[in-house]
Chain A
Amino acid sequence: QKEVEQNSGPLSVPEGAIASLNCTYSDRVSQSFFWYRQYSGKSPELIMSIYSNGDKEDGRFTAQLNKASQYVSLLIRDSQPSDSATYLCAGYNTNAGKSTFGDGTTLTVKP
């Protein structure tokens, strides 16, 4: 099993809808989780981090972590065409001292 797995996508939603991106992880990744957004041809940029069970909201973005189910998600409310990008889920293992990334989910928001 890969350490971090994401829905393969691609995901397409209409403008104004909620986009839901999902990620599962193995026992080897257990401390902190991050969502990075990567526009085509650009480098990843951090948009959300979550460290404890529950929800964390930042504007239109909500990250959800369920450690019992080893599940992390990112919800984007009121999706905009500018949200069209690849979203990378990453899990950080403090013992190993490094992050492991999923393969990414490409989101397209259609006007």
Chain B
Amino acid sequence: NAGVTQTPKFQVLKTGQSMTLQCAQDMNHNSMYWYRQDPGMGLRLIYYSASEGTTDKGEVPNGYNVSRLNKREFSLRLESAAPSQTSVYFCASSDTFSNEKLFFGSGTQLSVL
């Protein structure tokens, strides 16, 4: 049982480049989330998807877009990367929208030069 799988694990970008972070879960969860974590800080919500076909902005959505491709997959896209987006990104899922015990992927360490 893989749980929540994120790719890639590491990525280095130059300012202005674009990339997509992939996330898939095999737990049949309805809700999926993208968080970023900066040193010494907690998790800040970027975007979330309560169910297949819906997406909503979190605390820090600027500079990001998301796609809920199907129930399993939720991708995060950086259209024009900036150094301020250097961070660790975590994808998470939960089993129902009203019972948010989060299961996290292993994270993506992104550096933007």
Contact = CB atoms under 8 A, between A and B. Distances in A.
A63 interface: no
**SS class, residues of chain A in contact with chain B:** strand
B100 A92 contact: yes
A57 interface: no
Interface stretch (B60-68, B78-86, B104-112): B104-112
B90 A46 contact: no
On chain B, which size bracket covers the interface? 20 to 34
A98 B41 contact: no
Contact of A98 (B40, B42, B45, B90): B45
| Residue of B41, B44, B97, B101 with most chain A CB atoms under a 10 A cut-off | B101
Contact of B101 (A6, A34, A97): A34
Contacts of B27: none
A34 B104 CA distance: 14
Contacts of A98: 33, 45, 48, 58, 100
Interface of A: 4, 6, 32, 34, 36, 42-46, 49, 88, 90, 92, 94, 97-104
